[in-house]
Amino acid sequence: MGVRNQEGMKLMMKRHKLLPPVIGVMMAGALLAGCGSPQSNASREVIDKPGKQITVIDTAAEGRRNTGEIQVEQIEKLKDVYGRTWLSDHEAIVERNHVLMIHDFASNIERKLTENPATAGQYLAAASPDGEHVFFTGGNPKDKYDIGGYLLDAASGTVTKTGAFSMLSDMFWADPQHILVSTDDSKLQLIDLQGKRTPVQFSDPELSDNVPRMASKAGDRYYYLGVHEGYTVLKSFTASAPEAKTIQEGVVTFSLSPDGSAIALEKREWNTTKDAELQLIDASGKKLGTVAKGTLLGRPSWSPDGSKIAFSVYTEGEQGMKGMYVFDKASGKTTPLSTEIQAYDSPAVWSPDSKSLMVYQTVYEGEKSNNVTYVVHLK
């Protein structure tokens, strides 16, 4: 999970400068067998409700059009909120007006995540894999750039401070008891449930003043985005072998599978007109296949059961892939969810049962812009 920051804006500006002409989209690799066609709106019924909009899908008709096995049941739109994380299969944490709220999709009722007087605003949130704790960030009433980290015990409501949280930091739940965060001094730290921080020992002379990005962990192996010759690369190390090694170059974003056996990543050759690729590699860096190609790709996101990958893609040209898709690892097939959802800065967040996902994006209506969170429920 990344904080909205200037570095992220620089990355997006760099992306937009590299928009290539149409080369086409293909699905490749023995692991990746097929692709679905864009969905039609002919079998959809849109229902407006206070604060949200629901699109009900004729799943039988949609299933006949899809080449994949995944089917969409309905799509909800929550207006003026940022979807952050799932607390349970039917409850999600969203940010509304700088306040974190728990939205219950069964009742359509929202309540505050916590009454915390120590924060001037609440921004990011990520629930632990077991759903028992929530890490969130809040602002200082005296300085909006002074961001702090907090841990909420979901059962008791107790909030524990974890110290300052940099505007350039990323965080990832390494396991139900530890959060992995990057720091401004080119370090990684583990935070336990009591708020104690422990430095992660590793060496990377190429980092210098660059902050490790998108750090993740599976077992005893750590992954992060470092920098080599001005471009981001995917690096890895372990506690027993702490010298970081590059396992893939030209990586813009990545997502580690829950069991750590595979990595979905956006790979781009900088300063060329080639499309970016969404690739799958194993833990050692061996390429398993290409899921999609496009002018713009959103950060991929694995479902908790490790069976699916959600991603957004935009390709110039009438025949190019556009919108949000889900790739099924077992069948190798890709199913389109919606051409309306084109979120390239915010990864989709899956519910614990891997049956729903949400993602937010800015939607423009004339000269006005609104933050909309899309919630896709799969059959």
Q: Give CA angle at 329 (323, 332), nearest 5°.
A: 75
Check pLDDT > 90 for residue 367.
no
Tokens 């990958």: give the residue.
309
What's the whole-number mean pLDDT along residues 141-148?
Answer: 79
CA distances from 76 to 50, 84, 146, 239, 345 (A): 12, 15, 34, 43, 20
Check pLDDT > 50 for residue 163.
yes
pLDDT of residue 188: 93
Cα separation, 296 vs 275, in Å, equals: 8
Cα separation, 112 vs 121, in Å, equals: 12
pLDDT of residue 228: 81
Token pair recorded at residue 337: 């969810």
For 68-82, 187-201, 204-218, 277-291, which range has the lowest pLDDT when averaged over its residues?
204-218
Percent of the chain whose pLDDT exceeds 70:
79
Cα separation, 168 vs 224, in Å, equals: 14
pLDDT of residue 121: 86
pLDDT of residue 140: 78
Q: Parallel, antiparallel, or unpaired: how do β-strands 333-338 and 349-350 relate?
A: unpaired
Contacts of 41 (CB under 8 A, 6+ apart): none
Q: Which of 285, 201, 286 is nearest to 243 (CA)?
A: 201
pLDDT of residue 33: 34
Provide the strand spans (E) within 154-267: 159-164, 171-175, 178-183, 187-192, 197-200, 213-218, 221-228, 231-238, 245-249, 251-256, 262-267
C-beta separation of 273 from 20 below 8 A? yes
91: Cα separation from own chain's centroid: 18
Handedness of CA 199, 202, 205, 207 (dihedral sign): negative
- Identify the band that residue 185 occupies on the pLDDT scale cut at 50, 70 and 90: confident
- Identify the band that residue 180 occupies on the pLDDT scale cut at 50, 70 and 90: very high
DSSP 64-101: HH-SSS--EEEEEEEET-EEEEESSSSEEEEEETTEEE
The string of pLDDT tens digits covering residues 205-254 is 887 667 788 999 999 999 999 888 888 999 999 999 999 999 999 999 99
The string of pLDDT tens digits covering residues 11-49 is 333 333 333 222 222 233 333 333 333 333 434 444 455
Percent of the chain whose pLDDT exceeds 90:
58
Give the residues across from 111 on adjacent strands: 102
Q: Which long-range contacts (CB under 8 A, 24 or more apart) does 183-191 make?
A: 183/211, 184/211, 186/210, 186/211, 186/212, 187/212, 188/212, 188/215, 188/222, 188/224, 191/135, 191/149, 191/151, 191/162
What's the whole-number mean pLDDT along residues 161-185?
Answer: 87
Rounded to the nearest integer, the mean pLDDT of the chain is 82
Token pair recorded at residue 67: 């080449």
pLDDT of residue 104: 97
What's the whole-number mean pLDDT along residues 184-198?
Answer: 91
Check pLDDT > 60 for residue 322.
yes
138: Cα separation from own chain's centroid: 20
pLDDT of residue 238: 95
Check pLDDT > 50 for residue 103.
yes
Tokens 């059959």: give the residue.
379
Q: Which of 149, 158, 81 is nearest to 363 (CA)?
A: 81
What's the whole-number mean pLDDT along residues 132-157?
Answer: 88
